[in-house]
Amino acid sequence: MTTSIPVSILWFVVGLAIVLAVGSSILRTLVVPRGVRSKLSALVLTATLGAFRLVARRTSTYEARDAVLAYAAPVSLIVTLMTWLALLFVGFACLLFAFSPLDWSQSFREAGSSLFTLGFASTDRSQLTAVDFLAAVTGPVVVGLLVGYLPSLYASYNRREVDVALLHSRAGEPNWGPEILSRHAIVNSSEELMTLFRGWERWAADIAESHVNYPVLIHVRSAQPLRNWLVALVSVMDAAAFQMATNPHIPQAAPRVTLRQGFVAVRDIARAEGIEVDDDPSPDTAISLTFEEFSEAYDDVATAGYEMERSAADAWPHFRGWRVNYEAPAYALAESIDAPPAAWMGTRRPPLPVIMPRRPTNRMPGGRTGRPTVGE
């Protein structure tokens, strides 16, 4: 089969464009460690997540929703690999069609043979050697890069999950900022909050670096349904903001740097997810959390024995001034990843009831009693 020179040039350009586009996507996704987003990979991830959400959001409980969504991110990796290989298959077939008298069926047959290194359709034509060898090298390289990518991905996941799991005893599940203060007060260990804040400053920096470079991690879910990296981070930031707002004379360095690193991490990850972020919100900007919700939490924390210098009314403007830095991007992220419907974490679609952490005690020092169990 022979084709005219203009037609050959056209299919050469089409094939080369496809191969280069896929190569760029692979480099951006697997090789370049700068959080350079690949539109192709992002499209595949979005489409895969969307398909799983169609099923997940028809469930009646959060646990059922989480069970469905747990497969979304891993499946997206497989679909991304298949998409790359399928496009490379088409691209090399176009190049072979442009370079030779092969018809389309023969071009696709030889492209597949070379790309997957099977060799059953190879030819001796010298003008096809370069394309055949390039296709034969590309297939194993793509698969090898993805295989090498997975250990880095799951190493970052494991680092993330260790501290999230450790927060269970300090903040319950799902985590909640005021609960952190209450539990430390219950066991008379409020001084350990500074150690907690310092550790989470470094954790927030690590999570920002890994989740911006590997966006699929944003959607990789924890082993337990009510455990979530974003809820954990927001709960620690809420605890830090709550402490600074209610106790201005307590040393502020540790909670302050934790808050700053925390909202920088939330903003960076939100941008990686395609969410618009205001980098300089006014301290007077309204937030979704209401004073009534804050006041109720204030009374709960006080009942647990946490001592506070300011009243709820006096502390509220200070707390709001801190929370305005991260609430909007955190809520948008929580909706995007279908985070657990924890307290102070926004709403979900379709709506789900808020799940409060269970306080594992009704026996507190000094005869105090904790708030009743609301859920696990």
Residues 107-131, mean pLDDT to the nearest whole number: 69
Q: How do residues 308-352 score in pLDDT, each as one tens digit?
A: 999 999 999 999 999 999 999 999 999 999 999 999 999 988 888
Q: How do residues 215-224 score in pLDDT, each as one tens digit?
A: 999 999 999 9
Residues 137-155, mean pLDDT to the nearest whole number: 87
Per-residue CA distances from 151 to 30, 213, 223, 351 (Å): 12, 14, 18, 36
Q: How do residues 239-255 score in pLDDT, each as one tens digit?
A: 999 999 999 999 889 99
Tokens (6 digits) for 68: 């469905």
Would you say residue 128 has pLDDT above 60?
no
- Give me the amino acid identity at 304: A
Residue 341's CB is within 10 A of a number of other CB atoms, namely 20
- DSSP 8-state secondary structure symbol assigned to residue 373: P
CB 171 within 8 A of CB 179: yes
Percent of the chain with pLDDT over 90: 63
What pLDDT is stored for residue 99 in this prediction? Answer: 78
CB 293 within 8 A of CB 272: no
What distance in Å separates the CA atoms of residue 184 and residue 312, rounded to the nearest whole number? 19
What pLDDT is stored for residue 123 in this prediction? Answer: 55
Q: How do residues 63-101 score in pLDDT, each as one tens digit?
A: 999 999 999 999 999 999 999 999 999 999 998 888 777
Based on its alpha-carbon atoms, the radius of gyration of the chain, rounded to whole angstroms, reads 26
Burial class from Cβ neighbours inside 10 Å (0-12, 13-18, 19+) for residue 221 reads buried
Would you say residue 119 has pLDDT above 80?
no
The widest CA-to-CA distance across the chain, in whole angstroms, is: 93
The pLDDT-based confidence of 34 (bands split at 50, 70, 90) is: low
Q: What number of CA atoms fall less than 13 Å from residue 149's CA on the CB side?
A: 25
Closest CA to 316 of 289, 342, 338: 289
What pLDDT is stored for residue 375 in this prediction? Answer: 33
Mean pLDDT value across the chain: 88
What pLDDT is stored for residue 160 in this prediction? Answer: 95
Global model pTM greater than 0.95: no
The pLDDT-based confidence of 297 (bands split at 50, 70, 90) is: very high
Residues 194-200, mean pLDDT to the nearest whole number: 93
Q: How do residues 256-285 score in pLDDT, each as one tens digit?
A: 999 999 999 999 999 999 999 999 898 888
What pLDDT is stored for residue 362 in this prediction? Answer: 46
Residues 165-190, mean pLDDT to the nearest whole number: 91
Sequence-ordered list of residues with C-beta below 8 angstroms from that of 244, at least 6 positions apart, any chain: 250, 252, 255, 256, 259, 318, 322
- DSSP 8-state secondary structure symbol assigned to residue 21: H
Would you say residue 122 has pLDDT above 60?
no
Measure the N-to-C terminal CA separation of the chain; round to a whole number of Å: 69
Would you say residue 121 has pLDDT above 70?
no
Would you say residue 371 has pLDDT above 60?
no
According to the per-residue pLDDT averaged within each range, which of 20-24, 123-127, 184-188 is highest? 20-24
